[in-house]
Amino acid sequence: MNQVHQRATRKTIGMEKIYRVIITIILLFSFLNVVAMLVLNFMRGIHAYSHLFDPASTRPGLEIMEIVDGLLLVLLLLIMNIGFLKLFLPNSKWAQSLDLPWLKINSFSQLKMLLIETILTTLVIVFATTVIKEEGRLNWNDIVLPAAIFLFALTIKSVKEDGH
């Protein structure tokens, strides 16, 4: 009976190592995507700020607002990566070194609420950018964004009232 238990324990330890390796690979590639998006937004920012004081440039503020959209998306992905790291690899050196007071994630519901709130903020900025870009001439598909914002806000309200 003891040998069966030892084999099962070895199998479990082997599966945990495979699990950690797979999660680490996924998180590394996801983090590389965040870095790539940050670099792209940084390059767009340099371009936008170089045109900010150019009198021939049309609507340079709009380009800056689009950069804010991109940076909010980077922030969303970064929060998601850190959350997954803390949930799936809580004993890793990375997870233990990232002790951010505003990012205390101990469960999927905490991560879910943080992501929903971040997505809501991002959608509001995206809609504001769309309104400015279209100069008030919105199409029917531009109305989907405020509907999504409303649904996300209702979700946050109902989840917080339930005490999650």
Residues 123-163: pLDDT tens digits? 888 888 778 777 777 777 777 888 888 887 888 888 777 66
Least confident segment among 17-21, 26-30, 128-132: 128-132
Q: Which residue has the higher pLDDT, 65 or 30?
A: 30
Domain that holds residue 126: 2-162
Number of domains forming the structure of the chain: 1
Average pLDDT over residues 102-127: 79
SS3 of 54, please?
coil
Segment 41-79, tens digit of pLDDT: 999 988 888 887 777 777 777 788 888 888 888 988 888
H or E element that contains 161: helix 144-162
Q: How confident is the model at residue 164 (pLDDT cuts 50, 70, 90)?
A: low
Distance CA 6, CA 31 (A): 37
What is the average pLDDT value for the chain, to the nearest integer?
81
Q: Is the pLDDT of residue 95 over 90?
A: no
Distance CA 102, CA 86 (A): 13
